[in-house]
A and B are shown apart, each in its own frame.
Chain A
């Protein structure tokens, strides 16, 4: 079967750095997405990785290793507004999105 694993919940301190991991086992791979979802709101796009390596966008970076079936989202200089759920999703061989359950990130002052 197809599976996406992420930690259920993480806690970090304002101003710190946090890494949210995502491992996947899917039938084929055509890219990995990260989305942010604030409570009660719609998910919004953060990043899309299809090649190995690190992509940086301001305070957020996303890393992919296809051989290990692994990705992480790195958030630097955490702000209270970063408190949200972070969803990992993989595009499989049929170009269908397989979603993880999401990681709830709690930021403490």
Chain B
């Protein structure tokens, strides 16, 4: 059974803290994604990666960075958390480079920045 896991389900941080969100997939997928999901808005792509050490900006990369040192692991970093980064963060992976395959999602991390 395919699996995408995220390091935390719930996280509370203070403004200015550095935050690490980790995502691990066990399907040997090349492609991994970080989204944020806010009420009334669609999933918004923050960053994605098509290979180890490779990263591409999505639609809303400001305030975020990523790291992909190993194929199975994709980390999202908030260098200095702000209250407008309070959101649900979803990691996903997919087998095909053209995204025509199913995206498999992790359970999500609900981040609150105080």
Q: Which residues of A contact B (CB under 8 A)?
A: 4, 8, 30-31, 33, 35, 40-45, 48, 50, 87, 89, 91, 95-102
A-B contact pairs, 5 of them (CB 8 A): A41-B107, A43-B105, A89-B43, A95-B99, A102-B42
Q: Which residues of A contact B105 (CB under 8 A)?
A: 42-44
Which residue of chain B has its CB nearest to the CB of A102?
B42
B residues near A (Cβ < 8 Å) are 4, 40-45, 90, 97-100, 102-108
- With A87-B42, A96-B45, A101-B41 as known contacts, state yes or no: A30 contacts B106, CB within 8 Å: no
Q: Is the interface of B mostly helix, strand, loop or mixed?
A: loop
CB atoms of B107 and A48 under 8 A apart: no
**Further pairs besides A35-B103, A43-B105, A99-B43: 19, Cβ < 8 Å:** A8-B40, A31-B100, A41-B108, A42-B105, A42-B108, A44-B105, A45-B104, A87-B42, A91-B99, A95-B100, A97-B45, A97-B103, A98-B42, A99-B42, A99-B44, A100-B42, A101-B41, A101-B42, A102-B42
Q: Which residues of B contact A31 (CB under 8 A)?
A: 100
Complex Cα gap A87–B103 (Å):
13
In the assembly, what is the distance between CA of A89 and CA of B13, in Å?
31
Contact, CB under 8 Å: B99 / A97: yes
Contacts of B107 in A (CB 8 A): 41-42
Within the assembled complex, what's the spacing in Å between the Cα atoms of A89 and B42?
9
